[in-house]
Amino acid sequence: MIDTIAAVRFGAESTTDDVLDSIDLSDKRVLVTGVSAGLGVETARVLVAHGAHVVGAARDLDKARRATAAIDGPGKLDFVECDLGSLASVRACADALNAKGEPFDVVIANAGVMAVPEKRETADGFEMQFGTNHLGHFVLVNRIAGLIRDGGRLVNLSSAGHRYSDVDLGDPNFETSEYTPFGAYGRSKTANILFAVEFDRRHRERGVRATAVHPGGIQTELGRHMSEGELQALIDQINQSGQSFSWKTIPQGAATSVWAGFVADKDEVGGRYCEDCHVAELSEGEGIREGVQAYAIDPANAGALWAKSEEMVGERF
């Protein structure tokens, strides 16, 4: 069983190849969102290299095919169109997957946007980061939940950026509060964790577990909205808080996703937040640092977000 390998200790410098060393995934089918760049491409690469059948979701399929053209291995890579900023697109994607009826062992909700400089809205009128990072995945994953095999897993990519802000269920779209790029990002990343907490509670009876992961600091397209000065200021803030910031490579950044999805004991990571290939401890304190804020794994907060999300998308799950 894959879970027996959980005793092996990995850390911040572990790569996807380290984590999946000697693991055969030829019997696994995996959905990965955001396979057109960065972590999504690396996640798809290593899974295919180990024999998995990966279905890669992307808004721009031509870009995804170009980005993954070099992927090779005993596994298989297919694509499905999904624009997480449009619920019509998300629902069409879910309908297509359900029509095929082919189950998934693991769903990795990887796609996202970060630090959009000014307030923007999705096609449905939601604040861009909350709407894309959380609500798009909320609808997609819940609509295909029946395709996740008993004993399967959901891995939501979150971030240490959840420490910028708890969710604001009274004003999720910044209609009355002042919009800030990282305040909005923080809300969406907290929502990614809380979604995992509540999804885990609702599905653990059939052995399906959900977790959220922080990949670390990686230079990918995700940071395209940040200037060099803003990026350096963020790094300086982290270093001044007593943490020691260092960039991860893309294979190191994707390692925690595949660790949580295929290697870790699912009962240990279920309903939890993970970083550097381990379950994170509670860490209150301000600023970006290791650990998870209590509000991000609070069951009551998770339940309230679920209800608010259903209200916003007009759909019950």
C-alpha 226/C-alpha 218 separation (Å) is 13
Got the DSSP string for 272-289? -EEETTEEPPB--SSSS-
Alpha helices (H) in 101-227, listed in sequence order: 128-129, 137-143, 181-203
189 included as an active-site residue: yes
Angular region, 4: left φ>0, alpha ψ -120 to 50, beta rest: alpha
Instruction: Tell me which of 14, 36, 86, 158 is the catalytic residue.
Output: 158
The separation between CA 263 and the C-alpha centre of its own chain, rounded to angstroms, equals 17
- What are the DSSP E strand ranges found in 75-172? 76-81, 104-109, 148-157
Instruction: Tell me which of 28, 189, 248, 266 is the catalytic residue.
Output: 189
Instruction: Tell me which of 164, 185, 273, 295 is the catalytic residue.
Output: 185
Question: What is the phi/psi pair of residue 115, to 5°?
Answer: 55, 45
Angular region, 271: left φ>0, alpha ψ -120 to 50, beta rest: left
Is there a contact between 275 and 213 (Cβ–Cβ < 8 Å)? Answer: yes
Hey, which residues are catalytic here?
Answer: 158, 185, 189
